[in-house]
Amino acid sequence: MSTSEREIRAHLQATPPFSQFPEALVDAFVPNAEWVSLAKGERLFDAGDDAGFLYLVAEGRLQEVVPAEPDILIAELGPHALAGEVQLLTGGKRTTRVTALEASRLLRLPKVSVDWLTFEGAMTAGIVNEIVLHRLRRDRLAVILADIFGRLDAHQLQDVMAAGEWVTLRQGDELMRQGEPSQGFCVLVGGLLGVSVRGPDGPPTLVSRVRKGIIGEISILTGDPHTATVFAIRESELVRFRKESFFELGLKYPAFLLQIARLNVQRLRRAMGESRDAPDTAVVSFIPACSETPIAEFARRLAAELSSYCPVLHLDAAGIDALLEAPGTAEAPPESPLQARFPAWLAAQEGTHRFILLQADTLDSNWTRACIRHSVQIIAVGVAAGDPAPGAV
């Protein structure tokens, strides 16, 4: 092994996830790695660029932002950090811009040579997916925090993120229950929550849905128990902050309390019918009521009609495998690391389409269950002249 190859190997072994792999596996990447040098201010990639490479920072410091007015800081990347790894799970074009804050040197690996880690084995796939999912979550949270706290520098962003803990709610799980005391507040990062209220004698009634923003702050401000139950309509990811953090963050970041006030004014206006939220992406699953249902034809024709009015994407199991360039993703069992790809991709589509129509299988498959788990609405489709008895799904 040459001096250059030994240097490449040393940097790979010092950078997660490669630092967690056997030496023989790391050695397989050495021939495909190339050095890239950036001058201060030079751009590594921009939003909309093709995502053909993964980068490892060896020397220097880079800044990653979401292009906006002003740009939204996502992270500062120093030695042994990755750049461009999100597309390993979600596919598609770059969604951020990375620029050198100082003269920097990086290793560049072709995405195609990294992709096979997902198929090398459950251990390597799990490690890669965990790191990329953490990064994807962090990126989405950074955008949301900029809306809540205003413009944050790298230190402030890390300070706010460190105050919270990640929570995943499966479909139907409760986040908080009506009548219980407040334990803190949450920021919804992805998914959909339902808000229901139970009267003195009646069943709970769904009164609203939450797609983004802060939940649970009213009980902290008033000191009263929760006035509603909040639960996951579809699988959701949140960051939970303890009760004490609310006032600590308010003192540090006055824009936080201003945003709380604006949020509650908006809720009041919606309740009075004076305003409505802009439509977000709705994920809808079509489930065949019986094996004879022409579910593919139905979903295709509905998608074609809806597309005259708004952006629509129609997907079946083969379609998601093709989009992610990962055969077997749709039908992967729940314990498989491949299962992480579909929700990661869904989260990246937020705002791109008005409707994502998921066509389930005619059988009770892993893909059918994934469709149900991640949908806002589930529609059973049957044949009028067919057997009315429910099918297996």
CATH number for the segment(s) 3-154: 2.60.120.10
Residue of 192, 122, 142, 160 lying closest to 335 (CA atoms):
122
Contacts of 274 (CB under 8 A, 6+ apart): none
Kindly indicate whether the domain formed by 282-381 is annotated with CATH number 3.30.430.20.
no
Render 42-64 in DSSP notation, one character per residue. Answer: -EEE-TTS---EEEEEEES-EEE
d(CA 336, CA 338): 5
The reply to whether domains 3-154 and 282-381 share a CATH topology is: no
Judged by DSSP in three states, 171 sits in coil
Judged by DSSP in three states, 184 sits in strand
Q: What is the pLDDT along the chain (393 residues), one digit of tens a residue?
A: 677 888 999 999 999 888 888 888 888 889 989 999 999 999 999 998 988 899 999 999 999 999 988 899 999 999 999 999 887 767 778 889 999 999 999 999 998 777 776 666 667 777 877 787 788 888 888 988 888 888 888 898 999 999 999 999 998 999 999 999 998 999 998 888 999 998 887 788 898 888 888 898 888 888 899 999 999 998 888 999 998 888 888 888 888 888 888 777 776 776 666 555 556 788 999 999 888 889 999 999 999 999 999 999 999 999 998 887 777 888 888 777 667 778 878 877 777 889 999 999 988 899 999 999 888 899 999 988 888 887 778
The rounded Cα 13 to chain-centroid distance in angstroms is: 28
d(CA 370, CA 364): 10
CATH number for the segment(s) 164-271: 2.60.120.10
Ordered by start, the domain boundaries in the chain are: 3-154, 164-271, 282-381
User: Half-sphere exposure of residue 374, counting CA atoms within 13 Å on the CB side?
Assistant: 26
